[in-house]
Each structure stands twice: as structure tokens, then as C-alpha cells.
Amino acid sequence: MIKLLKKGMTTVLCAAILLTSAAGLSGCGSSDGKDAGGKKELTFQIWDVAQKEGMEALASAYTEENPDVTIEVQVTSWDEYWTKLEAAAEGNQLPDIFWMHTNELLKYADNGILADVTDLYDDESKTYYEDKFSDVSIDNTKGSDGNMYGVPKDKDTIGLVYNKEMFDAAGVAYPDENWTWDDLVAASEKINAATGKYGYMAYADDQIGYWNFVYQAGGYILNEDKTEGGFTNPATVKAMEFYIGLQQNEWCPDQNYFAETSPGTAFFSEQGAMYYEGCWNLKSLMENNPEMVGKWDVAVLPKCPDPVSGDGRASISNGLCYATAAKGENLETAKDFLKFLGSEEGQKIQGESGAAIPAYIGLEDTWVKVFDAFDYKLAVQKYIDMFEYGIQSVNSASRPVWKSKVSDELLKIYSGESTIDEGLQNMQDAVDQAIAAE
């Protein structure tokens, strides 16, 4: 009896294991290419729901010409995207095509996860990437070995967003190309005195915040060959002292305020006159704040009046790329789709969808034109103008490691727990140690 029982148990256990594992397989199986009726099924993973339609337009443009392929666009929120993607990479279950961000690109590329697509366009031109994309775009897609691990998708810059009504109320001229940090401060003072509202809202952020100031002053976050940090460089120190010091002014909220109210929220509830914003948010800001349309506009970043080196101009320019897995089952098809994504046609479709500026040189206007649809036309061309002096968004293979450490140190300076000098030294150590451990 007991024997029988044991046997029964084993059968049940086996059945249960089989069942659950089969369920598991079918769960993940969708990312494998299947030749269902001779059709290749590709998956395309992205994180921005606002760009889903644009990506679907790209997919259908491609599948129209290649009827034997179907492409499914899947959206995962930014927070989950990287956890999921890393797990998928470990299990060799990566989607066929996915977006890559400079924050993580080197980690994936240097570990051999991404397919090398340097020679993707060799049949068209050996210098396709150099001809069609800017140096910054290409650098944002390169692995540490200098090879291309994706096809540039878009590019962005950081600009100054300002409230026109508050400038009018204080009798201050709108920001223009000649503005310097001093004008930023002077305008903030006047607006605060006249309206009681906040002026420029400077908060703890790297890409949209202090990085811009550091590079304008002639400093750097990482040296050129990415072997050490630049937080103790005199120009960096100068910029950081200025930027962090802004919160000492009455017209700038302190970091406690920003921990609860983001500068964008404060700006669009008309509590402050200026803040920095990336171009990728402009379209949704217009759509989500219809009552504010016409009351605000954008300008280029104010320059550093007395840079330690350089001309005082800079705007951090990041960019995404489309990538595919080195060990993907549908590598050839995926590569062919990638090739389409980086073509003029593919980049144009993306620009017209409006969420991001195409990386392809000469197609910037497709993005600018999207803003014609609104009652008030933002001066979005200013964001395009800044590509001239755009600085590549800072990255290194160990960026995921030092990113949070540096940001913790910055918060300690803001809260007064450490002095600027101590804090910058700690940031320097954090970056150098992370690079040493790479």
C-alpha cells in the first residue's frame, strides 16, 4: 500500500512539475522566434508608452515590405525594464530588438550580450554611421572596444524652460542666446521680488542638472579615457559650488522642497519661473498641461560667463539606440530590421511620431514640425541649435555602480551633512573605486 502510495505521489509530483514547467515555458516562449506558418515572429521591447505608436508604425512599415515577418511591440515601465532585461539576458531570453540607454549600454556591450553591428551598412557605405550620425550619437552607441553595439535611435539636449507671464510681471527680458549664469541669477532675483514666486529651480540631478554646469565651466565628470573621475578638477569644483550654492538663495527652493515637489510640478502649478528640462518631455508637457499652453517657452542653456576653459557653452546630449542580442535566435532578421530602423525612412517615421529627435542628421525638422499641431508654437528649434555644442552623456561600464553613490553624496552636501569639498572628494573616490573594480 505504502509502495503504491509512494508511486502515486511520484506520479502526481512529476505531473505537477511538468505542468508548471510547461506553463513557465509558454510564458517565456513568446520571445523565441517561431516559424508559425513560415512567419518570423519578432518581439520589440521598449520602455516609453508615449512612443509605442511610433514604434508600431515602424514595425508595420517594415512588415509591409517583409510580409514573412511579424513584429510585436512590448512596453515595460522604465523601473522594471532593466531588472527584466538583465534577467532575460542571464536566461538567454532577450527580446529580438530592444532599446538601449547609455547608462547601461557599456555593461551589456562589454559583457558580450549585444550583437556587434559595426558592419551592418557595409554594403551601402563603409562610413554610413559617420555620414549619417553625429559623433555624440555614435559615442552613445559604442562599446568600450570602439565597435557599434546598436543603431542610433534618437538624440536629445537639455534646455531652459521659462514662464513668460512671470518674466513680463517682473519686467525682465526673456532668456536668449547671450544669457549667462549671472543673468539667470539676476532674473531670478527680480522675478522673486516682483511676484514672490521662485526663480530658477536648481535641484539634485546629474544629466538635467549639474553636469551641464560642470561642462560649461570647462570641468568634467569622467576624463576622456574614462579611467578616473573629475570631481576635484578646479573647473568642476567651481561649477558645483555655483550650482549647489543656488539653493542658498531665497528665490530657489531647497532640496527638501524638491524631494516632495518635482521642479516640473512646481513650474506647471506656477510656483516657479524657470527649470531645466530634456527635449523628450516637451510634447507630453504640452499635452498634459493644456491650460499652460502659451504661458511658457523654451531657450538655450545660459552659458558660463568665465569658464576655466572653453567657450562656456554645453548641453548634455544623450541618445538611445536600438540593439539586438548577440545570441538571438532570429539574429539575421533582427539585424535586417535594425538596418531599417537606422535608415532615413525608419528615422523619419520615428521623428514624425513626435516623441524624440531622430539621430539621423538632417531629419531634426520632422520632430520640430510635430509642435505645429499646438495652438502655441514652442521655440523647440533651440534644442536643435544646442547639438552644435552638445556633450556626450557621461557613462562608463561601472556607471550603474557609482551613480547612486554619487547621488547620495550630493544629497549629503545639500543637507549640510558634508561640506562641498568633502562631498566632492567622496564622489571622486566613489567613481575611482568603481572604475578600478571594473
Partner 1 sequence: MGKNKTKRLNSEGFWGYLMIAPTILGLMMLNIYPFIKTVILSFSSTKAFGQYEFSGISNYKEMLGNAEFWKATWNSIYFCILTVPVGVFISLLVAVFLNEKIKGRVIFRAIYFLPMVVAPAAVAMVWKWMFNTEYGIINEVFGIHVNWLTNPSIVLGTCAIVAIWSAIGYDAVLLLSGIQNISGSYYEAASLDGAGKIKQFIHITLPMVSPTIFVVVIMRLMASLKVYDLIYMMVEQSNPSLTSAQSLMYLFYRESFVAGDKGYASAIVVWTVLLIGFVTAIQFWGQKKWVHYDV
* Cell numbers at 437, concatenated: 573594480
Q: Which three cell numbers stand for residue 409?
A: 553624496
Beta bridge partners of residue 198, listed in sequence order: 272
Among 44, 133, 149, 258, binds partner 1 (CB under 8 A): 258
Minimum CB separation of residue 123 from partner 1 in Å reads 32
111 binds partner 1 (CB under 8 A): yes
Check residue 405 for interaction with partner 1 (CB under 8 A). yes
Of 46-54, 56-64, 78-86, 365-373, the segment contacting partner 1 by CB under 8 A is: 78-86
* Ranges within 156-215 binding partner 1 (CB under 8 A): 203-205
Q: From residue 16 to residue 45, what is the string marking binding to partner 1 with x (rule CB under 8 A)?
A: xx--x-------------------------
Which of 434, 361, 343, 367 shows the shortest CA–CA distance to 132? Answer: 361
Q: Which of 55, 7, 424, 10 is nearest to 221 (CA)?
A: 424
Indicate the Cα dihedral angle 408, 413, 415, 417, nearest 10°.
90
Determine which residue in the list 404, 420, 422, 436 makes contact with partner 1, applying CB under 8 A.
404
- Supply the minimum distance, in Å, between the C-beta of residue 107 and partner 1: 5
Q: Is residue 90 near partner 1 by the rule CB under 8 A?
A: yes
408 lies in the binding site for partner 1 (CB under 8 A): yes
Length of the chain: 438
With beta carbons less than 8 A apart as the criterion, state whether 208 and 277 touch: yes
Residue 276's Cβ-side half-sphere holds a number of Cα atoms within 13 Å equal to: 22
Q: Does 2 bind partner 1 (CB under 8 A)?
A: yes
Rounded-to-5 percentages of helix, strand, coil across the chain: 50, 15, 35
Give the C-alpha separation, 281 to 355, whole Å. Answer: 8
Which span sits near partner 1 by CB under 8 A: 106-114, 166-174, 300-308, 336-344? Answer: 106-114
83 lines the binding site for partner 1 (CB under 8 A) = yes
Site residues for partner 1 per CB under 8 A:
1-2, 5, 8-9, 12-13, 16-17, 20, 82-83, 86, 89-90, 107, 111, 113, 203-205, 255-261, 400-401, 403-405, 407-408, 411-412, 414-415
